[in-house]
Structure 1
Amino acid sequence: MRSVWLLLCLGLLALTLSQVRAEDPIANLDLEDIAEFDEDDEEYLTLLEEKSKNKDVERENELAQKLADVQYNLLNPVVEVDPCETMHCGAGRICQLNEGKPECICIPECPDELDTRRLVCTNKNETWPSDCAVYQQRCWCDNKDPGCRHPDNAHLHIDYYGACQEPRVCDGEDLKDFPRRMRDWLFNVMRDLAERDELTDHYMQMELEAETNNSRRWANAAVWKWCDLDGDTDRSVSRHELFPIRAPLVKLEHCIAPFLESCDSNKDHRITLVEWGACLELDAEDLKERCDDVQKAVPHLLG
């Protein structure tokens, strides 16, 4: 009876060994080697015990590795970055992936605007339903898209918000006095931002200098505003960059448009600091470029 039991054990062991042979070095022992053990041999039981211990160690190592992998993934998550998140497309354009690569395309569709306050007036004195529609049109004309109404619309830009009004003529004393009123307005805005602590330390110091030194009053305010308008920091202000100061004032100051046009003395569609000072009737020697950190100022004036 004992011999039968031993044979059954050997058969079960053979089946088990055949299943784990590939992963357990001890399981690679031949059955002939095991068959040589007699029923009184302790080596057989020792072999089984060692095999069981090895399996337990392997299982513990496997679980430990899985736990380590989970902890690593939690601490080091794989974040898929959308290439469009770092793609700047500009007004009238959006980013989309083309075969996995980001590219800027014209806005396919602008939302319908029912609010009349969303209307905009362009430099052509034409009323458009929204700023999105203007920028979309400009993009279409840049790309020679069929949606372009006229090639000149490639240079379309917003003059002010609201429906177009009959333009008022700026001449005589209004035009002559406008640079002075503009200088005062710039200084008052700079002072207001300083009082609200919305200037950087750099420009706060310039404002304090203007407060205590009348000779710097207008010049410092002019330099600060010019730096603020120079969004791309190329040391000149484009017509597009003039928008934050032009659009909100057109309805209030009918001389703002011809004044800003006069600042571009060489008609290259850009205003340098010297040109900016000249149209504000400031001495060029009083203007010192100090655009160190204006881009960090919060918020941009009327932007």
Structure 2
Amino acid sequence: MLTLLSIGLVALVVSSYGVTANLCAGKCRFYQVCNDVGECVCPPQCDRDSVALLCTNRNQTFENECEFHRYVCKVLRTRPKARIPHIDYKGACQSEHPCTTDKFEQFPSRLTEWMEIIHNRELSLTGEFERVVIADECERWNFAKESLESKFMELDDDADGLLNTSEIHELRKSLTEVEACTRRFFHNCGNKTGRVTLDQWKRCLKLPLEPQCATAPAATPTESKDTVVDVETDSDTDKSVGGIKEVEDALLKLLDENE
């Protein structure tokens, strides 16, 4: 008796939900839903209590993914060939400032310098932000390379050797408010699938070609005995061009959240 009842309940569930769902299997686009008669349609409504803000590459903020899908669906329904936006990062869009040509050209150098500061902080274990200037060209190149690789591996959550949009969106979000060229930089960096390899990461950040040096282990500023090192304090850093202190704070916040 129990067995027959169980079979009947399963049959009822399948007949009520399974058939309708299967009518649209593989037919609907990512922004569509399947209705009761097996048609792919725009989402009729979204849950107003569900708030999970999303920012698009056009700096548009949507309350949640459903609202974004409704917007895309309505646009393509009236203009099938329209170029639609895509989700850039989670959270409300940050305020943007003009990205001039000079700012864009200088952006890789500034971002590399911030990564070096973070890397030096991790190595020194002092918890202090200090800009390190290494006189020796080879030592300098090795430290820059280490810093970029360290940040890449930190962002590569699934350790597949590629950075996808979700893996770098927190970094982008932290930088967008204080760096006008963040969006443009990451849009231009990567392959056709939107993923970034380690080599592309280094090229985007304009790591120069390795200088002609004798092969030797890379020395950190605190370990090198033969290298002339200048350490600038936080007060000096505050005076540098590009709002470096603000971005250091943003990166520190991101670093602390990941620990």
TM-score, length of structure 2 as denominator length: 0.48
Which structure is richer in relative contact order (CA contacts within 8 A, separation 6 or more)? Answer: 2
Question: What's the TM-score once normalised by structure 1's chain length?
Answer: 0.42
